[in-house]
Structure 1
């Protein structure tokens, strides 16, 4: 399974439980991150001066450490050193820079991901897909989950790289977009309403991205590795605060978001399993061969 993400922390927020579950089941898993997340807003004072805007512009390097720690937390605790998941960056660490939000000065940086001609990251990702030869690829939806330009670009790059890699490999690949299920989100928010940490707030109506339930084609139960997902979220401490309950988190905006026990996906390409209703396994219908 290959998962492609824009910034350190996206892998855990969107797909941390899925990564941990399939690693625990013995699957080969790789996470490719496109940027170092240099433009992130830092929570707290300890590392505040690392920021790009008016600071030391060293946040990206620190987030490599956070990503390394998070991926280790998602790995099985008894994994050998060779089996502990480690970061991989498109083109190497620092090749593409976090573009920041749409319209921000950072989007005009010459190394910003959105400034790169599309064929440059496409070629790099096609090479990775060809080398790793995944049976399953997980990416973002066309809106980039919540509209971040780098997330949108990751979706575009993945969509363009997959046909190239398929042609080289001569095999098909199941392709999923990671989403947040509407009912699961609403249920999590109702459960959290009585335990909002001081300084946090509940989201306004429609403020958190969500996907209509009838669009979702797969749901992965991550209860068995839930603690690993929470630990990985906590590892991204410059970007994420985990509630004392261990069941919610917030970004720098202090908007409460549930940590779901189920992660949701929409299959957009590749062989179909023929399952009735939602799949419970992203490898369904494949000869997975990983012993899970």
Structure 2
């Protein structure tokens, strides 16, 4: 981790308070933060800035992962033999373990009981329409009530102040991400009022997304083999009108920690640092920026709606 003296909350971006400001009202109080994700690497890609920021701030940060990501596409040629092989899940578990150490956070899986937290109950469902979705242990097909009960049990032990997960569209529509959102909302809603954490979904203001694409167009050199999205290319569902994003974690100082964690997810992520700041690509070879900022909106667990 980068050495920093807590607290390190960045000033609000425009009118957006940080998550810790929302929970503490500016008091110098340590928090318990839990992020719930579908596969290894999702935690660092979607919430890596918040996780590293809160860990550096001195908060207790914990990640819960639903599956081993058995259906992931493998990028490096020397690891390509793992794609579609039963060994990919355990390999990605090792990547996740190292990435969590790089971020300085604790981790376990959504599993059947505290004695089995090292092994998830469900498996990666693959993209919509894939054969993996028909697997009897596919997470997207898990009964929401059953999975929510397991997560609620874990949250009742961890007693977080704050829970982070995807928006209702799962960020970009992956069935396991959508399921994770549903399960997390149901789990938080099932807790007694006195134990309920605040629940936030990751969302990106459209102005940030446009800025990131402009940055990529300037900074990603030709010959990388990567595609830079154009201003007219569609955005994923998690890119929304600026007014819907009510909170932000803005901390460029933790990007080196996020980069170190992403490098541990070598089967899934290719990190490049041949520009003014690092950027990355997944197996689709589309360049994406690491801007050191994440947007969030609070979710009402009783309705699943965003709180405005």
TM-score band (shorter)? 0.7 to 0.9
User: What residue in structure 2 maps to residue 206 of structure 1?
Assistant: 234
Paired residue total: 257
Q: Supply the RMSD in Å over aligned alpha carbons.
A: 1.7
Q: Is 2:61 the counterpart of 1:61?
A: no
Q: Which runs of 5 or more residues in structure 2 are unaligned?
A: 1-32, 112-116, 302-307
Contact preservation (8 Å) 1:185, 1:258: no
Match of 1:25 in 2: 57
Secondary structure of the residue that 2:164 maps to in structure 1? strand
Q: Distance in 2 between matches of 1:123 and 1:172?
A: 14
What runs of 5+ residues in structure 1 fail to find an aligned partner?
A: 76-84, 271-277, 279-292
User: Is 1:142 matched up with 2:162?
Assistant: no
Q: CA deviation at 1:163?
A: 1.9
Equivalent positions of 1:1-292 (< 5 A) are 1-52=33-84, 56-75=85-104, 85-91=105-111, 92=117, 93-167=119-193, 170-196=194-220, 198-204=224-230, 205-209=233-237, 210-244=239-273, 245=275, 246-269=277-300
Structure 1 distance, partners of 2:218, 2:190, is 50
Q: CA deviation at 1:86?
A: 3.5
Whole-angstrom distance in 1 between the partners of 2:198 and 2:249: 15
Give 1:262 deviation, angstroms: 1.0
> What do residues 218-265 of structure 1 show as CA deviations (whole Å, max 9, x unaligned)?
011121211101111111111011112342110000001111221110
TM-score when normalising by structure 1: 0.84
Distance 1:180 1:59 in 2: 31
Which digits, 9 at most, give the CA deviation of each residue in 1:10-59, with x for residues without a partner? 1000111111111111111110000000000000211111122xxx3211
Task: Return 187-196 or 258-267, whichever deviates more.
Answer: 187-196
TM-score by length of 2: 0.79
